[in-house]
Amino acid sequence: MIAIENLTKKFPHRTQSGTQGEKTAVDGISFRVGRGEVFGLLGPNGAGKTTTIRMLTLQLAPTAGRIAYEGQDVREKAQAIKKLIGVVPQHVNFDQDLTVRENLELHARLHHMGAKERKERIDELLAYVELEDVANDGVRRLSGGMKRRLLLARALIHRPKILFMDEPTVALDPQVRRKIWDLIRQLSREQVTVFLTTHYIEEAEALCQRVAILDKGKLTALDTPENLKERLGKFTVEWDEEQGRAYKFFAQKKDAATFAAEQEAVGGILIRPTNLEDVFIEITGRKEGL
Amino acid sequence: MLYDVWTVFWRDWVVLKRRLTKFILARMVAPMLYLVAFGWGLGRSIQVSGGSYLDFLVPGILALNSMNISFNSITPVHAERIYHKSLEEYLIAPIVPDAFVLGKVLAAVLRGLISSAIIVLLAFLFGANLQLSPSLLLVLVLNCIIFAEIGFLAAMKISTYEEMSQVNTYILLPMSFLCGTFFSTQALPDLLRYFIELLPLTHTSFLLRSLAGGNGADMVSLAVLGVYAIGGFYLGSRAFRNLVR
């Protein structure tokens, strides 16, 4: 569905010595995403996730590398590819002068939908995200959760084959978050490819068939959550030391138990299954983002 | 392509329609002040060749007003790009980039023409004589196109609100006064005059005054406006495409 080869983005940047230089935001990444797959792109703040999404959604031209959708290069078939993709951005980017319904209508018109189809689809989606009551209100009046639901509805109007979601559930109630998760699973069953970035590792673990970890612009891991955990060791022992919390990973439960028995661990010791967050922190480093 | 132009125009029309009364009332204030201050007030004691100062003044006001309105109709695009980021909707949509530029420019032309119509009505009420013609309308449309394109270019290139308003202060305001609007460019020192006569608004003023007085249109001036309009579209379109760089 999506094939990315050696994708690179460099931005102009003023170096510490004050000279003009370049900063590499995304550094030669390559991977493929299959049809109907839920694919997660994880990484610490500033790792290049949003830059990657902006390049994949044709909002930013790569410095080098190639992006192809079903074999079609984005530089040659930009209009055709834009029809295939839907985008839920990280920030709220509605037209502030239009109402909820008008914002959706603008999107539908930009995707060349006829008047009848437009109305039916908009009504259907407003009902789906439970925003019928505010359809004629200005978008400024919506609450944070309503805005995120509307972003999602807007991205789905033209029935995209690939949905990009940049931090789709940031700052949402657990209820709304669960609803969005259900929707993502539903889309995946309908063979829609979902490409998402997230800060919440448990979200990626719950949803994604495969995850990629991006660190300082480079791809440092790409696999199923199960394989990544297995590689690190399926069992985690954690306990308190003077320097802070300590972790050790084991492939076998027995080894973990033996190790735990040997530790003094005054404050108690815990043996638990390894989760994706352990993998994430091992790969991106404990001190990142501090 | 045409459908996409219509979509972009439709969006601006929805917004304008909602505020039409406010828009019309607000558009009456500045021309009314010009007509009172310079037409009635100062104008009584001024004689210009072949008629009253009011008749001389009205085409100038039409020129500077259509410039300001069309430019300022485009400035919200700057906020859409920098603050609301709502321009992203158009960047990810399967539309021809030029359709966006054209739609925005046409919407600005509409606003410029509405405000020009208000001035013509007010001018008649103040007792001015001017002849309306299709050529006069064409010149007004060209003038609106040029300054909408300049506004579009500024909206694409400039990164802060403050600099955006400086375009008004350093470019539009001096042009409003100097480009043959309130007085003939003949009154200016030669060097300044040559420079002023390179600017589009000067040619708009010439043309509007000539046409409103029942004389023909100067082809050179029309050609100058044509060149500005085409050049402005080229630059605006290129700037819009370069947003994804």
Closest CA to A142 of A104, A100, A91, A93: A100
Minimal C-alpha gap between A253 and chain B (Å)? 50
Residue B146 burial (CB count, 10 A): 29
Q: What is the mean pLDDT of residues A179-186?
A: 90
Residues 6+ apart with CB under 8 A from A62: A7, A8, A9, A26, A55
Query: Distance between CA A124 and CA A126 in Å, rounded?
Result: 6
- A214-248: per-residue pLDDT in tens? 999 999 999 999 999 999 999 999 988 878 888 89
Same domain flag for A160 and A185: yes
Structural domains counted in chain A: 2
Average pLDDT, chain A: 92
Residues 6+ apart with CB under 8 A from A182: none
Query: Model's pTM, two decimal places?
Result: 0.91
Same domain flag for A156 and A268: no
Residue bearing the bigger pLDDT, B9 or A167:
B9
Q: What is the mean pLDDT of residues A83-92?
A: 95
Minimal C-alpha gap between A83 and chain B (Å)? 6
CB–CB contact A87 B92 (8 Å): yes
- Report if residue A287 sits inside a domain: no
pLDDT on residue B245:
85
- B216-238: per-residue pLDDT in tens? 899 999 999 999 999 999 999 99
Minimal C-alpha gap between B119 and chain A (Å)? 27
Q: What is the mean pLDDT of residues A113-129?
A: 95
Same domain flag for A28 and A61: yes
Same domain flag for A41 and A82: yes
Same domain flag for A148 and A6: yes
pLDDT on residue A46:
86
The three-state (H, E, C) secondary structure of A206-260, written as one string:
HHCCEEEEEECCEEEEEECHHHHHHHHCCEEEEEEECCEEEEEEECCHHHHHHHH
- B18-56: per-residue pLDDT in tens? 999 999 998 889 888 988 888 888 877 777 776 788 889
Which residues of A sit within 8 Å Cβ distance of B? 57-61, 79-80, 82-83, 85, 87, 89, 91, 93-98, 102, 106-107, 109-112
pLDDT on residue A263:
83
Residue in A97, A156, A195 to test binding to B, most B beta-carbons within 10 Å: A97
What is the CATH number for A62? 3.40.50.300
ipTM comes to 0.91
Same domain flag for A89 and A192: yes
pLDDT on residue B50:
67
- Report if residue A278 sits inside a domain: no
pLDDT on residue A38:
96
Same domain flag for A206 and A126: yes
Same domain flag for A136 and A261: no
- A247-281: per-residue pLDDT in tens? 899 999 899 989 988 887 777 889 999 999 999 98
DSSP A105-149: HHHHHHTT--HHHHHHHHHHHHHHTT-GGGTTSBGGGS-HHHHHH
CB–CB contact B94 A98 (8 Å): no
Q: How confident is the model at residue B82 (pLDDT cuts 50, 70, 90)?
A: very high
Query: Distance between CA B39 and CA B31 in Å, rounded?
Result: 10
For B7, which of A61, A82, A110 is closest by C-beta distance? A110
- A12-39: per-residue pLDDT in tens? 888 888 888 899 999 999 999 999 999 9
Pairing of strands A162-166, A193-197: parallel
Residue bearing the bigger pLDDT, A19 or B112:
B112
SS3 call for B92: coil
Is the pLDDT at A289 greater than 50? The verdict is no
Is the pLDDT at A290 greater than 50? The verdict is no
CB–CB contact B94 A79 (8 Å): yes
User: Which residue range(s) make up the domain with A247?
Assistant: 234-273
Same domain flag for A192 and A256: no
Give yes or no for a contact between A284 and A255, defined as CB atoms under 8 angstroms apart: no
- Report if residue A211 sits inside a domain: yes
- Report if residue A219 sits inside a domain: yes
* HSE toward the beta carbon, residue A31, CA cutoff 13 A: 21
- Report if residue A229 sits inside a domain: no
- Report if residue A108 sits inside a domain: yes
Same domain flag for A201 and A263: no
Query: Tokens 């500033």 identify what position?
Result: A46
Q: What percent of chain A has pLDDT over 90?
A: 72
Same domain flag for A145 and A184: yes
pLDDT on residue A286:
62
Is the pLDDT at B14 greater than 60? The verdict is yes
Same domain flag for A175 and A245: no
Least confident stretch, A66-80, A162-176, B82-96, B193-207: A162-176
Q: How confident is the model at residue A45 (pLDDT cuts 50, 70, 90)?
A: confident
Q: What is the mean pLDDT of residues A44-57?
A: 92
Query: In the sheet where A20-33 sits, what is the strand order?
Result: A20-33, A2-14, A64-69, A72-73
